[in-house]
Amino acid sequence: MPAFFASIGDLSVRTKAKIVDLFAGAGGFSLAAKNAGCDIIFAVENDRHAAKTYRRNLCSLSCDLPTEIYTDDIRTMNPEAVAKKHFGDGLDCDLLLGGPPCQGFSTHRINDSGVDDPRNALIYSYFDFVKALQPRAFLMENVPGLLWPRHAEYLNKFYYLAKKAGYTTFDPCQLDARDYGVPQRRKRVFVLGIKNTSDCDGINWPPPPSHTSDETDDCLKGWIACEKAFAPMPADDPNASHMNHGPELTTAFMNTPANGGSRRDSGRVLPCHKTHDGHKDVYGRIDSRLPAPTMTTACINPSKGRFVHPVENHGITVRQAARIQTFPDNFVFEGGLTAAGKQIGNAVPIKLGEVLIKEILRSLSAKSDANMPIGNRQLEEVY
């Protein structure tokens, strides 16, 4: 765990990194931070089902400092007041996380659709908290569409605000989760800013991939297949449910070859398919021998993508989708099937989040260690 130090009199003691998570959803980023050895001071999420999931799984965990979740619309909150409440006694915010809603930046939109989507401006609400909290670093996640030229105005302004606030920023990096040990093809953009230039020394950003499709590369592991996501689930798992399908659709699934079969293979042809043959993955089976397709907010609905079980004749369950996102089986999603699917699709994969957070904290903690007097460093090691 990265070492951070807080002064008590003339001594310094080891403490955990203090994290804030905005647009927290069900808590994928927060859980990654917890696994990296951090304390989440507070989170903001106004979707009631996601907030209930977050509260159940993350606010009840034992930790040095309890996590508080705000369910307000972030645009109505007073960042300065919240910052003073949680960090007004000399406590510093080490890292601010967050993934502002991405619908306006989604890459499936055509022409200039989404350019004027009011949700795009939520990245500025995120930055209001950067200014109020003055974290040592911030990490923002979004969809690849954020990098499209039609959205350049939003991203350029965000970088301008960061520079004006004194942050060293790194070029936005697009990462694929399967390159970091996640059993899923999932590309997302991450924007990192670090407050003190000296904290950037030695940071390896973005972290180099640990997995690859080229199994001849002895330095990297091969991509991870998603087969373990379909291991048996406990009968009492509240998230072991899937959509119920009518006889016609069930028959089509029965006719779809295992592990990667498509709707074309099933012989089921709808009127729309005669004039438009796009969306070839719809009603297709996941191939468990490969990384899974991206878990979207509709990942439990086979009509929205390749979300049919590899061998069984139904869509994937909430638990299977969660496993693909590397959530542990004891993480319970609230709100029912559709709400749970949305929470999973919006989440940062836990294993990917851990890799990114650990690299940032490694750089920050190296500076903390270097600034700590030798006597205090030795004392901390004794305790």
Q: Could you tell me how far CA 15 lies from the centroid of its own chain?
A: 25
Q: What is the CA radius of gyration of the chain?
A: 22
Looking at the structure of the chain, the number of domains it has is 1
The answer on pLDDT for 308 being more than 50 is yes
In sequence order, what are the residues at sequence separation of 6 or more whose Cβ sits closer than 8 angstroms to the Cβ of residue 48? 71, 335
Q: What is the CATH number of the domain that holds 16?
A: 3.40.50.150
Residue 27 lies in a domain: yes
Residue 361 lies in a domain: yes
Position 271 scores a pLDDT of 63
Q: How far is it, in rounded angstroms, from Cα 266 to Cα 279?
A: 15
Residue 228 lies in a domain: no
Q: Rounded to the nearest 5 degrees, what angle is found at the Cα of 252, between the Cα atoms of 246 and 257?
A: 140
CB 213 within 8 A of CB 221: no
Tokens of 258: 């295992």
How large is the average pLDDT for residues 287-298?
A: 98
| pTM score over 0.85 | yes
How large is the average pLDDT for residues 8-18?
A: 63
Residue 8 lies in a domain: yes
Position 119 scores a pLDDT of 63
322 confidence band (pLDDT: 50, 70, 90): very high
Residue 232 lies in a domain: no
Position 130 scores a pLDDT of 98
pLDDT digits (tens, 9 = 90+) for 82-125: 999 999 888 899 999 999 985 554 545 555 544 455 567 899 99
The answer on pLDDT for 383 being more than 70 is no
Catalytic residue selected from 38, 102, 226, 299: 102
User: What pairing do the DSSP bridges indicate for beta strands 39-44 and 173-176?
Assistant: unpaired
The answer on pLDDT for 1 being more than 80 is no
CB 130 within 8 A of CB 137: no
Q: Could you tell me how far CA 300 lies from the centroid of its own chain?
A: 18
Residue 276 lies in a domain: no
Position 366 scores a pLDDT of 74
The answer on pLDDT for 328 being more than 90 is yes
Catalytic residue check, 200: no
Residue 313 lies in a domain: no
The 3-class secondary structure across 66-84, one letter per residue, is CCEEECCCHHHCCHHHHHH
